[in-house]
Structure 1
Amino acid sequence: MAEEIGDDEAALRWTDRAVDLAEAAGDHDLASYAFVRRALITYYKGNAADTVALAARARSRRFPDRIRGLAAQREAQGHALAGDYDACMRALDAARLLLSSGQHDTEAPALGTTHLGDPAAMITGWCLVDLGRPRQAAKHLDRECAAIPGHALRTRARYGVRRALAHAVAGEFDHSCELTGRLLQTTDCVGSATIATDLRRLARTLARHPRRPAFLAISAHLNASLAPAGR
């Protein structure tokens, strides 16, 4: 919750507290997942090197496959941020195998999102945006977003905004505006600082064509959603 309101320092403190409590209770795996959580904060700060380094610390073979898979996904996002396509795809391949294996580990806690049918496929689309391949990204994200359950509002908002961004960067302006308009009520409801990061990037991309009717139809709501008082 602290992370979602944009308080990274509090988010890190609570992460450390959760690790301390888990270790006191005999759960030593949560400490490894904390690296994945910390890497998400550095990702949203635009720090590719720290994102990769933190995620890599959770990929030890002594940790459960699901945690290693989530770490590999985060590492892939860091590589994408750095523009390293090959390293990103290798990490995604590892994530796919580990998460598939982790599904059979009934003792492992359900860490990370549980609303994605194929997390590695969705994160592939996410990474392709950062890698400057928006058309490929849009194909992945279109397919995977269609499979998100209707009640999973935060997940729909998070990946839906990234999907709209992919279409915008690919030059599919009107379609991106249409997707954005459908998402704004959900993003307002969720009120997430991390989702707002992508929404601001999307807004900057769409604002390059301020006179287009599709943009004018959503601009007031989009600006209100991004205003400090609206979050």
Structure 2
Amino acid sequence: MEVHAVQQPIHFGQELRRLRISSNLSLTDLAKLVHYSKGQLSKVERGLKAPSRDLVRLCDVKLGAGGALARLVPVSSDPPADLTTTDDADKKEVWLMRLSLDGQSWFQPIGRRQVLSLGAMSVAGMGIGVTGGSSGAKAALGTGSESVLEASRALFDQYRRLGQIAHPTVVLPALVAQTHTLREVAAEAAPRVRRGLLRLGSRYAEYAGWLVQESGNDEGALWWTRLAVELATAGGDRHLASYGLVRRALITMYRQDAAQTVGLARQAQTGGTPPRIRGLAAQREAQGHAIACDYDACMSALDRSRSLLAMEKADQDEPAIGTTNLPDPVAMITGWCLYDLGRPDEAAALLDRELGRLAPQAVRARVRFGVRRALAYAAAGEVDHACALTRDLLGDLVTVGSATITSDLRTLARMLNRYPKNPAVRDLSPELSAALRIVAL
């Protein structure tokens, strides 16, 4: 029997050393380029220390590996959850928003059988709106349906503004109530108005899903996204299902799952989906390619996004899908991607420019991309400036409360911990630790 030799996987440290030597760089030279100590690099090359994702990206770029080094280090050892298909398990339960007297709110799953066993009165006592009512009440709902649609449309823009400056727990109760109201009124409205109510309800549900993700509940975010798709479909809008894929890709992106992020985003760009949704999906695809350190694919997706968004025709009757707070969303996402691609200097310069263009009320967006800018400066070795930028953001981060932004902030904290003797790091450390504790509550 013929025996074939089994090729062993290349160790990252071995390949790093090979590329460094072939580039005529000493450990000291490479340490200066990537802003890591010579000792840390030596341990990584010898397999004594696992490389951080930041180090992997920087070495890949500085040594011209074209993503080859990055592919040797998996982003996560945990198998990712499959978000490419819809799980029917959520249909067996409902999500309740529980409100306490002190103003706090949170989501809690409860099985449909449990809801039925509790009975209508018990469920109402738990805070669930119970469908029903007298025929007179239903008739009143139908009569005022157009007014409800008009008022709810105006309110939606206000809730979007509020979501930029307030904690998710402040905004979510109103979004949940509005979604429920629009569904109730739609049931008694004339067909034309019913479609408008359901489509607007889908936007409320989609926005609620995003804020639920911001509060740190991915499962709840997916539940609300599925509800949004159901409402949109019932209202004659079959395109929101594609945007639902973009929302799912946002969750996989924050999990650093490049393959699923790209796969979901590409799926959202198929068929007759409107240009805006395809443009937003192309941005998410670019972010997935950036996680994988694939520069060419990332830039190609960003170019495609810009072309698609330029084709958009604004619909004054319905809220725009996706963020409306970025003057040039493609440029801002490019800055985001450049950091993941191991090009922190370019990322910092671009994010500097784009953050300066944000409106003052876009607080959540400013903190999100501001933390990313601080990460870029820290990765580029400008630690003092990174600390100054971070300090300016901590108060607003606590105010808006974002689990997704906090994930970047934790990465930044680990990066700054490499400089324990730096005075700026020492001064910032207590404030940074306190902010991380508060947002984790």
Assess same fold via TM > 0.5: yes
Q: Distance in 2 between matches of 1:113 and 1:27?
A: 19
2:244 corresponds to:
34
Within a 5 Å distance, the mapping from 1:1-231 to structure 2 comes to 1-102=211-312, 104-106=313-315, 109-227=319-437, 231=441
Deviations 1:71-126 (A, max 9, x none): 00000000000111100000000011111221x33367411111111100010110
User: In structure 2, how many angstroms separate the alpha carbons of the residues matched to 1:168 and 1:101?
Assistant: 37
In the superposition, relative to structure 1, how do residues 46 and 230 fare at CA in structure 2: closer, same or farther (>3 Å)? Answer: closer
- Comparing 134-143 with 105-114, which one deviates more in the overlay? 105-114
Change in CA separation of 1:180 and 1:106 when aligned onto 2, cut-off 3 Å: same
CA-atom RMSD, angstroms?
1.3
Q: Which runs of 5+ in 2 are unaligned?
A: 1-210
CA 1:191/1:183 → structure 2, altered by over 3 Å: closer, same or farther? same
- Structure 1 position 60, deviation (Å): 2.1
Preserved contact between residue 5 and residue 193 of structure 1 (Cα < 8 Å): yes
1:139-193 Cα distance to aligned partner (Å, 9 max, x none): 1100001111111111011100001100010101100000000011111111100
Please report the TM-score for the alignment, with normalisation by the length of structure 1.
0.96
Structure 1 pair 167/229, CA: closer, same or farther in 2 (3 Å)? Answer: closer
| Inter-partner Cα distance in structure 1 for 2:271 and 2:439 | 46
Amino acid at match of 2:326: L
> How much identity, in percent, do the aligned residues show?
58
Amino acid at match of 1:154: R
| C-alpha contact (below 8 Å) 1:224/1:230 kept by paired residues | no
Aligned residue pairs total: 230
Q: Tell which structure's C-alpha radius of gyration is larger.
A: 2
Query: In structure 2, do the counterparts of structure 1 residues 74 and 194 end up closer, same or farther at CA, with 3 Å as the change threshold?
Result: same
Partners of 2:405 and 2:353 in 1: how far apart?
20
Q: Distance in 1 between matches of 2:238 and 2:384?
A: 49
Amino acid at match of 1:132: G
More helix, by proportion: 1
TM-score normalised to structure 2 length: 0.51
- Decide whether the 8 Å contact of 2:398 with 2:438 is kept in 1: no
SS in structure 2 of the partner of residue 209 of structure 1: coil
Q: Secondary structure at the match of 2:311?
A: helix
Provide the rounded CA distance (Å) in 1 between the counterparts of 2:332 and 2:247: 18
Indicate if the aligned counterparts of 1:158 and 1:195 stay in contact, CA closer than 8 A: yes
Whole-Å Cα distance in 1 between the matches of residues 370 and 213 of structure 2? 20
Q: Write the distance in 2 (CA, Å) between the matches of 1:2 and 1:58.
A: 22
Cα distance, 1:230 vs structure 2? 5.0
Distance 2:239 2:419 in 1: 48
Q: Call closer, same or farther: CA 1:62–1:41 in 2, change over 3 Å.
A: same
C-alpha distance after superposition, 1:185-230 (max 9, x if no partner): 1111111000001111111111111221111221111001112665
SS in 2 for 1:105: coil
- Structure 1: gaps spanning 5 or more residues: none
Contact 2:406–2:439 under 8 Å retained in 1 = no
Deviation at 1:5, TM superposition (A): 1.5
Whole-angstrom CA distance in 2 between matches of 1:73 and 1:126: 10
